[in-house]
C-alpha cells in the first residue's frame, strides 16, 4: 500500500472520525478537513494520493471542488471518490461528469469504501 495519503473531506465530524480510524488502521495516512475551501488548499499544497469528498459541504460544494481540482495541472489526476447522501441517477451522472472516478452513496459500508480506495490507488 506504500502508506498512501488520503484526504477525507466531509462536514460530518462523526463520520470523518470513523473513516479516519478505519483507513488509518488499513495502513493509509489520513488527513481530514470539513469544507471545500480547505480541501482545495490541502489538495494543492500536499497533493494527496486520493480524495474522499462529500458533495454537500459548507462554503463550496464537492462538485465545485472536483471541477476546480480538475482545472489545475498539479491536482487534475488525483483520484476522487464522491461520498454523498444524494443517490439518484442524475446526481451520480453530475458527480462523474464533474471529474470524480467513483460515487458512493451514504449510508455505506466502510469496508467496501476501503476496498474502493485500494482499487482506485492501483489504477492511478
Q: CB under 8 Å, gap of 24 or more: what pairs does 117-121 form?
A: 117/6, 117/23, 117/28, 117/50, 117/52, 117/81, 118/1, 118/26, 120/50, 120/79, 120/81, 121/1, 121/4, 121/49, 121/50, 121/79
**The three grid cell numbers given for residue 27, joined into one nine-digit string:** 495502513
pLDDT (mean) for 8-19: 96
Separation of CA 48 from chain center: 10
| pLDDT given at position 2 | 61
Give the tens place of pLDDT for each residue, 90-101. 999 999 999 999
Burial class (CB in 10 A: 0-12, 13-18, 19+), 28: buried
pLDDT (mean) for 70-89: 95
Give the tens place of pLDDT for each residue, 43-77. 999 999 999 999 999 889 999 999 999 999 999 99
**The three grid cell numbers given for residue 104, joined into one nine-digit string:** 458512493
Amino acid at each position: 500500500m506504500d502508506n498512501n495519503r488520503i484526504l477525507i473531506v466531509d462536514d460530518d465530524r462523526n463520520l470523518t472520525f470513523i473513516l479516519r480510524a478505519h483507513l488509518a488502521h488499513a495502513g493509509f495516512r489520513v488527513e481530514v478537513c470539513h469544507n471545500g475551501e480547505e480541501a482545495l488548499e490541502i489538495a494543492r499544497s500536499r497533493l494527496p494520493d486520493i480524495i474522499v469528498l462529500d458533495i454537500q459541504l459548507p462554503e463550496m460544494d464537492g462538485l465545485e471542488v472536483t471541477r476546480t481540482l480538475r482545472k489545475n495541472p498539479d491536482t487534475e489526476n488525483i483520484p476522487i471518490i464522491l461520498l454523498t447522501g444524494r443517490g439518484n441517477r442524475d446526481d451520480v451522472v453530475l458527480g462523474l461528469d464533474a471529474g470524480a472516478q467513483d460515487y458512493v452513496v451514504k449510508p455505506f459500508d466502510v469496508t467496501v469504501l476501503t476496498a474502493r480506495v485500494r482499487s482506485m490507488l492501483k489504477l492511478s
